[in-house]
Amino acid sequence: MPVNYFPAEFEVLRNYDKCIQCRACERQCSNKVHWFDADFGKMLSHDEKCVDCQRCVSICPTGALKIKPNENAFRKSANYTQPLMTEAYRQAGTGSVLLSSMGTPKDYPVYWDKILLNASQVTNPPIDPLREPMETRVFLGKRPTQMKFKKNGELDLSLEPSLALNVPIMFSAMSYGSISKNAHESLARAAEELGTYYNTGEGGLHKDFYRYGANTIVQVASGRFGVHKDYLNAGAAIEIKMGQGAKPGIGGHLPGEKIKEDVAHTRMIPRGTDAISPAPHHDIYSIEDLRQLIFSVKEATEYKKPVIVKIAAVHNVAAIASGVARSGADIIAIDGFRGGTGAAPTRIRDNVGIPIELALAAVDGRLRHEGIRNEVSIVAAGSIRCSSDAVKAIALGADAVYIATPALLAMGCHLCRSCHTGKCNWGIATQEPELVKRLNPDIAYHRLVNLVTAWNHEIQEIMGGMGINSIEALRGNRLMLRGIGLTEKELQILGILHAGE
């Protein structure tokens, strides 16, 4: 319909001198971009269906393909940009809410890139991680604040339940349903080999994965999907999801068409029905109510497992975290607004929440100020993109970080941001058996192990350079950080000095 016309976002460039018409691209593209036209005797493409996932480019045996941004554009305006115009057309055509996936692509400040790390020179010399022990093991949970004695006068050495991580990195929540079974298996196996944890997300735990329980964090969200006693007891920790950085204040919605047999079984809902997680937990309207849910799962698991409460980074995050720390939670996970998602309304993803860097600094500062920092561990999430981001997060006050998008990248994701369509050509964010098959867990798990091992080496190197030999000594050590190009206010919130100071 001409009135609803907008140009394709991408253009598929095919070098016909190179194309041998093997039709591999046609077979591989779940978006049905490529087809062979018998009349013309050549391969053609529906550019408007292309999401730039780079699958065809990567498999074309002759290197004949290239995907480029479409140069055909509406008249330029810095105010009414082309995406805004096409979105208005889409909504005028459907009357529907815009749905997107992965982290916001908008140009918001990335504070990680405006923070520089310190290194030792001359005095307090660097430590060589290849030669000297460098502790990256961390424990998450409550820390004892005072000595306790038993009735008979002996020292009470019992500790609150905790998680032990060999590396300060865990895999963040991604539900089975939003990602494929093969992707889940890869994460579970990698977590086991690395001595860290992956997170089921809110979609329940597939029966095949109970054996990775010792490296699993099971999540309880407002929809309570797949939550039952055995599930709660299967994991090493239980995470109560109050919010997600990419979509604070709203729930989740896995459309009926993605609820195939196996997903339905794991979530324990009928096949083909929508899996709706309401925006709030309908039994939580206060910190006191949150405490109730925390203790109901603690009772159900006999106080053997730490409870994580995951909150989205929003304006009042420090006050909220203070409440959560007093609610009985053992660990708080804070998810920044640049974090990824399998599906979120575009406007929410792109406009709601605050960056993890500021949220983390504010929370750590507040909990210290109130003298309750040892009551909880803090896990930072929502766009920890590389090892130096992780180091900066720890120096800003995190005990460990959650990563998800880098894990997806390790498994082959090319960040085409179309997970919500369920047609991921890399076999990750899909439930189509033909597509899921493309992700080989034997390879993917190994790549995940590689990624985290490499990051861990880098973390050790950076710490060594600072003359620090344990994560414990780095945690909250803001003297190791300097801002670059930041305002007074930003420096004040981050609690760091400017470079040169």
Partner 1 sequence: MKINAENLSFRELNEKIRSSKSRKIEIENMLGQRYTGSGCTGKDIHISGIPGNALGAYLTECDITVYGNAQDAVGDAMNDGTITIHGNVGDAAGYGMRDGKILVKGSAGYRAGIHMKEYMEKKPLMVIGGKTGDFLAEYQAGGRIIVLGIGFEEQCPVGDFCATGMHGGVMYIRSEHEPDHPEQVLCEDAAAADIKAIKPDVELFAKKFDYDANELLNAHFFKLTPNTNSPYRRLYVNN
- Which residues fall within 8 angstroms of residue 487, CB to CB, at 6 or more apart? none
The most distant pair of C-alpha atoms in the chain lies apart, rounded to whole Å, by 92
Tracing tokens 């203070």 back to the chain, one arrives at 322
User: Which range binds ligand SF4 by CB under 6 A, 119-127, 329-337, 370-378, 426-434?
Assistant: 426-434
Does position 90 interact with partner 1 (CB under 8 A)? The reply is: yes
Which token pair is 64? 């004949």
- Of these partners, partner 1, ligand SF4, none, which one is at the site of residue 274 (CB under 5 to 8 Å by kind)? partner 1
- Of 72, 71, 67, 65, residue with least CA distance to 52: 67
Does position 258 interact with ligand SF4 (CB under 6 A)? The reply is: no
Least distance from C-beta 428 to ligand SF4, angstroms? Answer: 4
* Residue 299 CB coordination number (10 Å): 9
Q: Taking CB under 8 A as the criterion, which residues in 466-495 touch partner 1?
A: none
| Cβ proximity of 267 and 181 under 8 Å | no
Least distance from C-beta 431 to ligand SF4, angstroms? Answer: 12
Which token pair is 256? 């009926």
Which token pair is 317? 């995050």
Residue type (1 letter), 292: Q
- Which residues fall within 8 angstroms of residue 172, CB to CB, at 6 or more apart? 199, 335, 339, 381, 402, 403, 404, 407
Does position 91 interact with partner 1 (CB under 8 A)? The reply is: yes
Nearest CB to partner 1, comparing residues 121 and 296: 296
Residue from 63, 249, 272, 485 in contact with partner 1 (CB under 8 A): 272
Q: Which helix (H) or strand (E) holds 294?
A: helix 287-300
Residue from 224, 260, 368, 385 in contact with partner 1 (CB under 8 A): 224
Nearest CB to partner 1, comparing residues 111 and 225: 225
Does position 161 interact with partner 1 (CB under 8 A)? The reply is: no
Burial grade of 113 (CB within 10 A; 0-12, 13-18, 19 or more): middle
Q: What is the DSSP string of 461-472?
A: HHHHHHT--BHH
- Of 499, 411, 498, residue with least CA distance to 449: 411
- Of these partners, partner 1, ligand SF4, none, which one is at the site of residue 208 (CB under 5 to 8 Å by kind)? none
Size of the site for ligand SF4 (CB under 6 A): 28
Least distance from C-beta 413 to ligand SF4, angstroms? Answer: 3
Nearest CB to partner 1, comparing residues 49 and 326: 49
Residues 102 and 418: their CA atoms lie apart, in Å, by 8
Does position 104 interact with ligand SF4 (CB under 6 A)? The reply is: no
Does position 42 interact with ligand SF4 (CB under 6 A)? The reply is: no
Does position 8 interact with partner 1 (CB under 8 A)? The reply is: no
Binding site for ligand SF4 (CB under 6 A): 14, 19-25, 43, 53, 60-62, 64-65, 102, 408, 413-419, 424, 426, 428-429
Can you give the binding site for partner 1, defined by CB under 8 A?
A: 87, 90-91, 93-100, 222-224, 227-229, 232-233, 253, 255-256, 264-265, 268-270, 272-274, 276, 278, 282-283, 292-293, 295-297, 299-303, 345-346, 418, 420-421
